[in-house]
Chain A
Amino acid sequence: MSCQSVVNDFLSGLPSKHPDNFQKWVMDGPKSNVTRRPASYVPTKDIPAQQVIVTEKTNILLRYLHQQFDKKSGKHGSKRDSSVLEDDTSRKRSRFE
């Protein structure tokens, strides 16, 4: 297949969502466009965000260990006393930030 026909294959039937788009463009040489910028958008409406993106603070290793532990304890429920898991009197202070 020649290069010409490959390019033709590529360029024929390019996607068209709205056949009208760019059809009224007047092709009288390229237009130079310096400052046709859109109007500035100055938002003054306070629309609360539905979601907040937060990053989990747990260390990757700790998270891994917890997961491993959960998996294990799930498998062998009897090996470790469940009361230990529910014990909230951890000697470590919880993180506040």
Chain B
Amino acid sequence: MSTAHHYIVTAHKPTAVTSCVTGNFTSPLDINLILAKNTRLELYLVTPEGLRPLKEIAIYGKIAILKLFRHVGADKDLLFVVTARYNAMILECRGEGDSLEIVTVAHGNVGDRIGKPSETGIIGTIDPEARVIGLKLYEGLFKIIPLEKDNSELRAYNIRLEEPQIQDIEFLYGCPNPTIILIFEDASGRHVKAREISLKDKDFVKVPWKQENVESHSSMVIPVPQPLGGVIVIGQESILYHNGSTFLAVAPGAMKQSTIMCYARVDPTGSRYLLGDLIGHLFMLFLEREERPDGITIVKDIKFEVLGVISTPECITYLDNGVVFIGSRLGDSQLIRLNTEANDSGSYVSLMETFTNLAPIMDMVVVDMDKQGQGQLITCSGAYKEGSLRIIRNGIGIQEHASLDLSGIKGLWALKVGGEAIYDNMLVVSGIGDTRFLYLCGEEVEETELPGFIQDSQTLWSSNVCHSQMVQVTVKAVRLVDSSSKILLCEWKTPSGKGISVVAGNNSQIVCAAGSELYYLEIEKGSFSLQAEKIMENEVACLDITPLGSGKAHFVAAGLWTDVSALILSVPRLDVITKEPMKGEIIPRSILLASFDDNCYLMCALGDGSLFYFTLNPVSGTLSDTKKVTLGTQPTVLKFFKSQSTASVFACSDRPTVIYWSNHKLVFSNVNLREVSHMCPLNAMAFPDSLALATDNSLTIGTIDEIQKLHIRTVPLGETPKRISYQETSQTFGVITMRVDMMDTSGLTPTKPSASTQAASVSCSSSVGTLIRPSTSGPSSASLPSQPLEYGQDVEVHNLLIVDQHTFEVLHSHQFMQNEYAMCIESCKLGEDQTPYYIVGTAFVVPDETEPKAGRIVIFQYADGKLQQIAEKEVRGSCYCLAGFNGKILAGINSTVRLFEWTSEKELRVECSYFNSILALYLKCKGDFILVGDLMRSMTLLQYKSMEGTFEEIARDYNPNWMTAIEIVDDDTFLGTDNAFNMFVCTKDGGAATDEERCQMQDAGRIYLGDMVNTIRHGSLVRQHLGDTSVPTTGSILFGTLSGSVGLITQIPGTFFEFLLELQERLTKVIKPVGKVDHAYWRSFYNDRKQEPSEGFIDGDLIESFLDLPRDTMRDVVNGLQIDPQGTGMKQQALVDDIIKIVEDLTRIH
């Protein structure tokens, strides 16, 4: 059996918040917010400045339950987590700051060998007095975990739960024995029942109270703490408070519009709650109390009001001082503040912060829009009012604010001229034999003269310096000018008379070289003082004297010609402290001392675009940990700058890069500009926190994006995007969207404005109400419904949006017919016709039909700002997928795959069909091969025989996998994902001996992802790597998931796979996962039929965590590991730095 070798890694971590809790986790006084984002926990601390991120904790499983609880008498909370594969864990936080540890105090698998998984999902609840945890994992069973502190075993047991269709379960407050309250449904409706548990008998013992026939859509119970006790039952349109003896119900009008999704208790006594609904209303629920003469507090009234609009909430938690976290799965999560006064629009909510969320990614395309050899990802993200397109780009964008035609720039500095200036107001632009001065007056830039400065010579360095002075260094002299009077105060020339070749300086120090002569000057009021001079053994190629802390610099860095070395010299004596040779003959061009959060580095860029960097000891000046990366192909200039107070280095070259510090590592992020020769930070009045950048023939002033690896831009649509396709010729995207309209007296009306209703131009498939022209033949027209819609009924309306690729403006919106759902879109050319078409597949959805019986394939052309329907073809079923296939179009229509050809009459005609599917949901093509992804019968490979005009089934995977996405990796390798959150690879073996073997796909690899993959596309987010990379990867495939993560898969050779597998194996021994779930268990393929060990995949997330290990631990991991650096089979002992280099190179593929 052949095994394929793949490396899989998360390029963008999940962003959907599925659950959030607040409590005292890190210490008794800390207020923590803990978020669950699919397979990760995020831990935050509430501070006066806002939320401070503390830790991100990987959990080996998809988090299904997240709860905080506190033992009686304890002063802080414990965290209880259950994963979708039933791994339960109780976590405690010990220590603080960097030494914070998440300790697994209890763990175990709470799954049973038999049992039907709970149809209403996993429900978990904890007794308010922390006596027991209750879990509903399977139908008909309630699992109790007694929380006995002193036992080494927590013996969980099942008790029978006879109530059918349980909607929600919670523990009640103030009960002598743990007592649950549940909502269940039977033939007569929904009912609420309290049941007391006897821990001794291990069973339910009695029913303290129940209420039959509560509102028929009640779905949520909120237990109310003492002194009130009892429970709030949330229905579709009403709220019921019940405490067993008395009850009170209200039906507020504000509830009618949507469904309550989640709640947060505001105060510990339980009179105030916040509720959120599906369309993003935030409500208050207030239990008004009354103290009766007998001293018993009762609920007098239930108040319910709208507070404002928020993101569609999945979970809500109250933090402190009126600040609330809104966790969202369908849109961006939010931090909001509740104000006592309403704003102008009547809202009591003000938005403090939004947390970008890509989830759910329904579809995506990878497009190289800037034509710079680097893909951008455009995703269909979010749903309903949170629907949006997201543009995800690796690297940092520069937003251009001004540009001037100016060529031959050799240097660039910003100055504050005039004694009082607080903003930069002058740009010094040096050419090869002259210097220009550009005065920044508002947004105007005008060339001027600067008294005291020389204009007819190249400037080597210029800056504002101490004592309100300015410095200009030319080949001839170092000149000191008064900043306000602009009078030349002093001029210093080399004693030897040699011209200055290289110079560097800071606020009070200058170091300059003339050939191999090196001088150190200090700047005083009105003069320079030469502190030291020295003859170097070779000519100086580059210099730097950036201070590593505040105050003066203690080191000079220098790069030398001839012996190609980097030096650290002492200040002021210029003694050589460290000399570091750099292998090779390429001359260093730029050297820089840089400190990022007290981590000091020496960086040295060479003439070939490569960069050496060393860790610098800021006290002794010694260098260690030599590393080399290739940034570009041209000489590189390094510049230190700060953007939004983040210390960064800008590497100017033909592939400009920003280097910054993140998560204890240096990160290299490319910039979306073709070439930058020089740059300087600029903080001018009209251009605050900006950069001035010199390119080949222009000078650009721009601001830089927030410094981060992936940059995400949001284009809100206000309706659900489903599918996207790119058309290069028309420079547009075709986007299938769905909005919800409501039937009212005037017919169907959109519930609110959204992209399809606000488009520049609008068209529709036919008048609303008439579905298909009566003349059409076939079974479809007869079966279509004729019953009118009810008043108030919601209807899905599907649209095709044409979106401009540059502005993301919706150029046109085409509305499909009533009941016609657009399922898929493809952009391609057909037959001899050179016109690119948008082709949309649709289905007529009738509520009573199990599968649609009719659909259409509609062909559109977008040209000259107009969308035209060119042709349509009725089909007998839902057209789930379309794929352009050598000038023809392939369609998956219910259980068939059909190939249509484009006739000269511009009509689609069926050429051939394949019938052996349940539902052909996905299609991918390569050459003559077609991969079909089935609803429940995995993948099938077909070949189109052009001579015969038929399909031939080549191979099939006989495993009954329920597919969510497929992709062809190469001619023999096929990738699929299923709805049990696995990814797997099948191969075909054309050379097998028997027919039977040939027509059976081989299972060649599998891994559990814990996330639903909705889309897989070939493409890369990074530019093809340059120069020497140590990682032999082939191809790049991206996938987008339900929880908003983006992953990458690449093929690797067998030897490299074996090496990484060994490294992975070693890492599993060193990294002690939170929750003590075994890595092999976590990644093993798992569905309701089988569990098999992961194979053929390297877990890149685990490999990359090598870089987060302390160096000692790295050494333990690497000890005894063999590598084959030349690929010759000659293995040698790996060093820590070898492995760091390999893993760092692996991080750069995404």
Contact = CB atoms under 8 A, between A and B. Distances in A.
Interface string A1-42: 001101111111011111111111101001111111111111
Contacts of A50: 105-106, 152
B706 to A, nearest CB: 7
Contact of B47 (A7, A15, A21, A45): A21
A12 B152 contact: no
Contacts of A42: 1071, 1105, 1108-1109
B127 to A, nearest CB: 16
A28 to B, nearest CB: 11
Interface string A43-85: 1111101111111101010011001000000000000000000
Contact of A37 (B53, B352, B1105): B53
Contacts of B121: none
Contacts of B102: 41, 43
Given A22-B46, A51-B151, A51-B153, A34 B706 contact: yes
A27 B350 contact: yes
B155 A54 contact: yes
Contacts of A7: 284, 305, 307, 342, 348
Contacts of B44: 38
B323 interface: yes
B48 interface: yes
A45 B1072 contact: yes
Contacts, number: 214
Contacts of A25: 48-50, 352
A36 B286 contact: no
Nearest to A21: B320
Contact of B152 (A14, A52, A60): A52
Interface in B1039-1097: 1070-1074, 1076
Given A6-B286, A21-B47, A44 B1113 contact: yes
Contact of B55 (A21, A31, A34, A41): A41
A36 B1109 contact: no
A20 B155 contact: no
Nearest to B1101: A40
Interface stretch (B232-240, B264-272, B622-630, B674-682): B264-272
Interface string B661-704: 00110000000000000000000000000000000000000000
B158 A22 contact: no
A84 B362 CA distance: 65
A53 B159 CA distance: 17
Given A35-B709, A44-B1072, A22 B320 contact: yes
Contact of B353 (A3, A33, A39, A58): A33
A71 to B, nearest CB: 9
A23 B48 contact: yes
B13 A52 contact: no
A3 B202 CA distance: 48
A6 B88 CA distance: 42
A71 B155 CA distance: 22
A18 B43 CA distance: 19
B56 A41 contact: yes
B107 A12 contact: no
Contacts of A51: 90, 105-106, 151-154
Contact of A63 (B108, B202, B350): B202
B974 interface: no
B286 to A, nearest CB: 5
Please tell me the size bucket of the interface on A.
35 or more
A5 to B, nearest CB: 10
B319 interface: yes
B448 to A, nearest CB: 34
B762 interface: no
A75 to B, nearest CB: 15
A10 B156 contact: no
A94 B131 CA distance: 31
Interface stretch (B333-341, B399-407, B893-901): B333-341
A51 B108 CA distance: 9
B108 A54 contact: yes
Interface in B86-145: 88, 90, 100-112, 143, 145
B156 A6 contact: no
Given A10-B284, A56-B156, A31 B353 contact: yes
Contacts of B49: 24-25
Interface in B148-191: 151-160
Interface in B284-337: 284, 286, 303, 305, 307, 318-323, 337
Contacts of A4: 342
B1108 A27 contact: no
Contacts of B154: 51-54
Contacts of A64: 203
Contacts of A31: 352-354
Contact of A22 (B13, B48, B145): B48
Nearest to B1106: A42
Contacts of B647: none
Contacts of B1073: 43
A18 B320 CA distance: 7
A52 B106 contact: yes
A34 B708 contact: yes
A47 B103 contact: yes
B322 A14 contact: yes
B201 A67 contact: yes
Given A21-B46, A21-B47, A60 B1109 contact: no
B101 A47 contact: yes
A90 B567 CA distance: 84
Contacts of A45: 101, 1072
B570 interface: no
B160 A38 contact: no
A14 B337 CA distance: 11
A20 B548 CA distance: 34
A25 B410 CA distance: 43
Contacts of B340: 8, 11-12
Given A22-B46, A22-B337, A16 B352 contact: no
A50 to B, nearest CB: 5
A61 B319 CA distance: 46
Nearest to A7: B305
Given A46-B1072, A51-B152, A21 B201 contact: no
A54 B1071 contact: no
Contact of B338 (A14, A27, A37): A14
B351 interface: yes
B711 interface: yes
A19 to B, nearest CB: 7
A17 B55 contact: no
Nearest to A51: B106
Contact of A6 (B158, B266, B305): B305
Nearest to B1117: A44
A49 B350 contact: no
B944 interface: no
Nearest to B37: A37
A48 B740 CA distance: 53
Contacts of B415: none
A44 to B, nearest CB: 5
Contacts of A32: 353-354, 356
B592 interface: no
Contacts of B46: 18, 21-22
15 contacts: A9-B303, A10-B305, A19-B321, A21-B47, A23-B48, A33-B353, A33-B356, A34-B708, A42-B1108, A43-B102, A44-B1109, A52-B108, A55-B108, A55-B112, A55-B155
Interface of A: 3-4, 6-12, 14-25, 27, 30-47, 49-56, 58, 60, 63-64, 67
Interface of B: 13, 29, 31, 42-44, 46-50, 53-58, 88, 90, 100-112, 143, 145, 151-160, 201-203, 266-268, 272, 284, 286, 303, 305, 307, 318-323, 337-340, 342, 348, 350-356, 663-664, 706, 708-712, 1070-1074, 1076, 1105, 1108-1110, 1113
Query: Which 6 residue pairs are nearest across A and B when measured between Cβ atoms?
Result: A53-B108, A38-B53, A51-B106, A30-B351, A24-B48, A41-B55
